[in-house]
């Protein structure tokens, strides 16, 4: 799988959201799908995923968040 014309843009409202644009192709260049002409909102897509799938990624976020919190608290 490949991504062509790929780019990510911030969404001003709500802040913190991102829009992903691009074409999804196979190795022969055949178009498998796209993120849509207006892109796909990370926030909108995220809430559509199963909770157990979300939990897997939140677990990964937790250690990253902890590192950031500790770094800020530790100066």
Partner 1 sequence: MATYYVRTDGSDSNTGTGPGTGQAWLTVGKAVSATGMSSGDTVYVAPGVYSALINVLMTSATVNTYIIGDPKALQFPGVTPGQVICTNYNTALNAAGFSNHVITGTSKNFMYWSNINFKFNPPYGINVATVRNWTFEKCTFSNRNTSGSLIVMTSPASTAMSLTINQCIFHGGNVGLQLTGGGVPDTTSIQNSVFRHCAQAIVQVSCQTAVFNCLFFVSLFAINQSSQSLVFPATITNCLTANCSNDLIGGVTGTLIETYNRLLGASARSNVAQGTGSVTVGDIGVDIGESLLQGLPTIAQLTSFLSSPNANFGTLTGAPVTDLYGNAWTGPNPDAGAGTYKTIGGGLLTHPGMTGGIRG
The smaller minimum CB distance to partner 1, of residues 13 and 63, is found at: 63
CB of 70 to partner 1, least distance (A): 10
Cis peptide bond upstream of 5, omega within 30: no
CB of 13 to partner 1, least distance (A): 26
Binding site for partner 1 (CB under 8 A): 1-6, 22, 27, 29, 64, 67, 71
In whole angstroms, give the CA distance from residue 40 to residue 48. Answer: 12
CB of 34 to partner 1, least distance (A): 14
């Amino acid at each position: 799988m490949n991504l062509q014309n790929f780019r990510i843009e911030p969404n001003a409202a709500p802040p913190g959201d991102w829009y992903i644009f691009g074409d999804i192709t196979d190795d022969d260049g055949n178009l498998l799908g796209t993120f849509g002409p207006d892109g796909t909102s990370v926030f909108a897509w995220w809430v559509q995923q199963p909770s157990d799938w979300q939990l897997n990624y939140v677990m990964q976020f937790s250690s990253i968040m902890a590192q950031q919190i500790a770094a800020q608290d530790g100066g």
